[in-house]
């Protein structure tokens, strides 16, 4: 159980939380929701003591698992050791034991070694390595990688190790901030099953709606400067929240109508002989004052691509026996495909199998080892890179407004401000330096650039990373409504289901083009297994 008592957090210019008292109960799985900037990650850091609150106290169980974000802190440790470090008491005991065994044995050292062995036994330390290896395997890490140092494996796999670290040691509470960010679909499914079997207190922040719907028993929604809890998953919360606010708005309208009628009576008879009736009406007016509705901080960008200025030919892009590899290891081998005008394609598969490579090759950024990619007639590509730094230079003083205007040869200020407003950059936010943008703001700005330039072929590599749930939903609607052609690499199942009519799947035996939606692809794959 995690208890917050009168927690407040003020940052320059606004308040995130105001005297919040809340309990995350044992055995419940909470999705912590709210738009970018509402304070979800800040609250997790406050709970763990990594960031100070303005007022209030936090009470935690003894053993808490927390998903860390700084992979560089573990670069010289093996994967197994990094996982075991998730149990700080066990890790400290193991390290002290190792040091003491190097010293000359004395009665005092022997006594201390006995105490250490008791701690190791209490923390199930004798099975720690096998537990760590089992968790790593579940997360898709091959056995020959377990003894490697962290800096010797790709960064996305290092983030997976930190997730395993948080899960290790049967913590009484588990705090996970965007745990699916660096996971492929198989790893997400494994994590969902693990969390379903987890018996402690779970608090998770995620932009993956399918993930939240799958695992959550409750939603803790940050809104109106506080935390409001709802039973059920994310979709249930949306229904309940909309209904509650709708009822309050309807009640306020009814009260306002009644108050207006009472005021007419008071104005008409206030100076007459019906003084007692007037006074009772005045008292009723005070009683019926509408409830003050704080403005919700939920905002959704408006992602609707404008009508195409130029349509492409029927065949948008054609690949013939394309091959691409790295250091002698092929990731794409003899893959041929055709993408037609109007296709909406999701590219799926485990990390490292070539999804980004395919998109960069289609966008003309990566050269192929062999084979040929040919663009069709009048194709205009709009590319969204998984690495935002490929598109935005965060080492300059360029503002959001100036960057967007630079996307197009001729653009009026009013047109640029309109796009920025749709992407939630209102007022002075348009003049923020690009270097100061958060991940979510950067993603929205790049999408805004695509809205402004209106390409007829969208090539998007993990565009949902860093976007909040509302923005991901808006992106899915925008892609579904888009009149051109789109190919999108993503692990977000809600996004895939929202727009994709075809699937390119990177599987163990190669790359496959499925002519149908995601659910049909899954059924076909299940039938094969």
What does the pLDDT look like over 199-217, one tens digit per residue? 999 999 888 888 889 899 9
What string of H, E and C letters represents the secondary structure of 262-330? HHHHHHHHCCCCCHHHHHHHHHHHHHCCCCCCCCCCCCCCCCCCCCCCCCCCCEEEEEEEEEEEECCEE
Do 387 and 424 fall into the same domain? yes
Helices (H) and strands (E) in the chain, counts: 17, 18
What is the spatial distance between Cα 81 and Cα 129, in angstroms, rounded to a whole number? 8
Q: What angle do CA 249, 253, 259 make, to 5 degrees?
A: 140
pLDDT the model gives residue 271 = 59
Check whether residue 493 and residue 430 sit in a common domain.
yes
CA nearest to 438, candidates 428, 426, 425, 451: 425
- Could you tell me the CA-to-CA distances from 31 to 46, 140, 177, 238, 351 in Å, in that order? 17, 24, 10, 13, 25
How many of the other CB atoms lie within 10 Å of CB of 239?
11
Residue 362 confidence class, pLDDT cut points 50, 70, 90? very high
- C-beta of residue 458 within 8 angstroms of C-beta of residue 436: no
By residue range, what is the domain housing residue 329? 315-528
Of residues 294 and 493, more confidence is placed in 493
Q: What CA–CA distance (Å, rounded) separates 38 from 17?
A: 9
Same domain? 390 vs 503: yes
Q: pLDDT confidence of 380, banded at 50, 70, 90? A: very high
Tell me what pLDDT residue 274 has.
Answer: 61
Same domain, 280 and 195: no
User: For 358-368, what is the mean pLDDT?
Assistant: 90
Tokens of residue 474, six digits: 């808006």
Query: With contact defined as beta carbons under 8 Å apart, do 43 and 204 qualify?
Result: no
DSSP secondary structure of 137-180: HHTT--GGGTTSBGGGS-HHHHHHHHHHHHHTT--SEEEEESTT
Q: Are residues 215 and 254 in the same domain?
A: no
Query: Do 379 and 470 lie in a common domain?
Result: yes
Q: Which residue has the higher pLDDT, 238 or 137?
A: 137
Token pair for 411: 């653009």
Give the mean pLDDT of 455-475: 88
- Is residue 297 assigned to a domain? no
Q: Which of 130, 158, 186 is the last residue of a domain?
A: 158
Residues 51, 45 contacting (CB under 8 angstroms): yes
Q: Give the residue from 218, 220, 208 showing the smallest Cα distance to 27.
A: 218
Residue 292 inside a domain? The answer is no
State pLDDT tens for residues 45-82: 888 888 888 888 889 888 888 888 788 889 899 999 99
Give the Cα separation of 446 and 434 in Å (integer): 11
Residue 241 lies in a domain: no
Give pLDDT tens digits for 319-351: 999 898 887 788 888 889 999 999 999 998 877
CATH number at residue 55: 3.40.50.300
CB-neighbour burial class of residue 141 (10 A; exposed 0-12, middle 13-18, buried 19+): buried
Q: What is the pLDDT of residue 382?
A: 93
pLDDT score, position 353: 79
Question: Do 522 and 401 lie in a common domain?
Answer: yes
Does 468 map to a domain? yes
Residue 375's pLDDT is what?
A: 93
> Is 154 found in the same domain as 176?
no
Using alpha carbons, select from 385, 361, 373, 383 the residue that is nearest to residue 316: 373
- C-alpha 392/C-alpha 382 separation (Å) is 14
The pLDDT-based confidence of 293 (bands split at 50, 70, 90) is: very low
Residues 187 and 46 in one domain: yes
Beta-carbon contacts of 488 under 8 Å, excluding residues fewer than 6 positions away, are 345, 346, 347, 458, 460, 461, 463, 479, 495, 499, 500
Quickly state the pLDDT bin for 485 (edges 50, 70, 90): very high
Rounded average pLDDT over 180-197: 83
**pLDDT for residue 258:** 67
For the cut 80, the answer to whether the pLDDT of residue 419 exceeds it is yes
Tell me the two tokens of residue 469.
């749930």
* pLDDT exceeds cutoff 80 at 123: yes
Domain identity same for 378 and 483: yes
Last residue of a domain, one of 98, 132, 158: 158
pLDDT value of residue 265: 67
Judged against a pLDDT cut of 50, whether residue 228 lies above it is answered with yes
The answer, yes or no, to whether residue 489 has pLDDT greater than 90, is yes
Using a pLDDT cut of 90, give the percent of the chain over it.
24
Q: Which letter does DSSP use for residue 225 in this model?
A: T
Q: Is the pLDDT of residue 11 over 70?
A: yes
Q: Using only the alpha carbons of the chain, give its radius of gyration.
A: 28
Bridge partners for 318 per DSSP: 338, 374
Do 142 and 211 share a domain, yes or no?
no
Number of domains in the chain: 4
| SS3 of residue 70 by DSSP | coil
Note the pLDDT of residue 269: 65
In the DSSP assignment, the letter for residue 379 is -
Domain assignment present for residue 70? The answer is: no
Q: Are residues 386 and 319 in the same domain?
A: yes
Residue at 71 is within a domain: no
Rounded Cα gap, residues 519 and 169, in angstroms: 36
Measured CA to CA, the distance from residue 317 to residue 378 in angstroms comes to 11
Residue 249 has pLDDT above 60, yes or no: no
Place of tokens 């089992």: 134
Q: What is the mean pLDDT of the chain?
A: 84
pLDDT, greater one: 102 or 196: 196
Which two three-digit tokens encode residue 438? 């958060």
Q: How far is CA 442 from the centre of its chain?
A: 14
- To the question of pTM greater than 0.85 for the whole model, the response is no
Pick left, alpha or beta for residue 40 (phi over 0 → left; psi -120 to 50 → alpha; otherwise beta): alpha
Bigger pLDDT: 221 or 274? 221
**Mean pLDDT across 416-428:** 89
Of 222-236, 316-330, 431-445, 505-519, the range with the lowest mean pLDDT is: 222-236
Q: Rounded to whole angstroms, how far apart are CA atoms 216 and 195?
A: 9
Quote the pLDDT of residue 483: 93
């Amino acid at each position: 159980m995690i208890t917050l008592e009168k927690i407040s957090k003020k940052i320059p210019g606004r308040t995130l939380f105001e005297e919040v008292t809340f309990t995350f109960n044992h055995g419940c799985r909470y999705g912590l929701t709210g738009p970018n900037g509402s304070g979800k990650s800040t609250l997790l850091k406050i709970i763990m003591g990594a960031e100070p609150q303005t007022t209030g106290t936090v009470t935690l169980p003894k053993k808490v698992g927390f998903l860390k974000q700084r992979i560089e802190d573990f670069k010289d440790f093996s994967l197994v050791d990094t996982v075991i470090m998730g149990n700080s008491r066990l890790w400290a005991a193991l390290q002290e034991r190792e040091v003491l065994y190097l010293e000359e044995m004395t009665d005092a050292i022997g006594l201390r070694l006995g105490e250490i062995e008791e701690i190791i036994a209490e923390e199930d330390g004798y099975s720690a390595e096998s537990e760590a290896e089992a968790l790593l395997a579940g997360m898709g890490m091959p056995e020959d990688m377990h003894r490697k140092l962290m800096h010797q494996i790709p960064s996305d796999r290092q983030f997976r190790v930190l997730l395993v670290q948080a899960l290790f040691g049967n913590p009484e509470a588990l705090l996970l901030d965007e745990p699916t960010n660096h996971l492929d679909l198989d790893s997400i499914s494994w994590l969902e099953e693990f969390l379903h079997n987890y018996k402690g207190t779970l608090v998770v922040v995620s932009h993956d709606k399918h993930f939240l719907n799958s695992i959550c028993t409750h939603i803790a929604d940050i809104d109106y400067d506080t935390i409001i809890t709802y039973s059920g998953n994310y979709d249930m919360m949306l229904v309940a929240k909309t209904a509650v606010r709708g009822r309050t708005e309807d009640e306020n309208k009814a009260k306002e109508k009644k108050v207006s009628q009472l005021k007419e009576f008071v104005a008409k008879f206030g100076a007459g002989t019906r003084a007692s009736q007037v006074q009772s009406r005045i008292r009723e007016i005070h009683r019926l004052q509408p409830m003050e509705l704080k403005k919700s901080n939920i905002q959704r960008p408006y992602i609707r691509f404008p009508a195409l200025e130029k349509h492409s030919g029927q065949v948008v892009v054609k690949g013939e026996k394309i091959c691409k590899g790295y250091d002698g290891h092929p990731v794409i081998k003899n893959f041929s495909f055709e993408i037609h005008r109007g296709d909406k394609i999701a590219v799926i598969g485990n990390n490292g199998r070539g999804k980004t490579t395919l998109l960069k090759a289609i966008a003309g950024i990566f050269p192929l080892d062999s084979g040929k990619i040919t663009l069709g007639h009048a194709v205009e590509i709009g590319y969204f890179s998984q690495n935002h730094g490929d598109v935005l230079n965060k080492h300059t003083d360029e503002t959001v407004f100036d960057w967007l205007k630079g996307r197009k040869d001729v653009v009026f200020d009013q047109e640029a401000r309109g796009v920025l407003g749709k992407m939630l950059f209102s007022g002075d936010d348009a003049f923020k330096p690009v270097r100061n943008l958060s991940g979510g703001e950067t993603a929205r700005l790049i999408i805004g650039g695509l809205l402004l330039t209106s390409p007829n072929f969208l090539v998007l590599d993990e565009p949902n990373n860093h976007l909040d749930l509302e923005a991901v939903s808006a992106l899915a609607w925008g892609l579904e409504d888009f009149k051109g052609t789109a190919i999108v690499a993503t692990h977000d199942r809600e996004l895939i289901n929202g727009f994709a009519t075809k699937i390119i799947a990177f599987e163990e035996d190669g790359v496959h083009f499925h002519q149908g939606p995601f659910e049909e692809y899954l059924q076909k794959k299940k039938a094969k297994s």
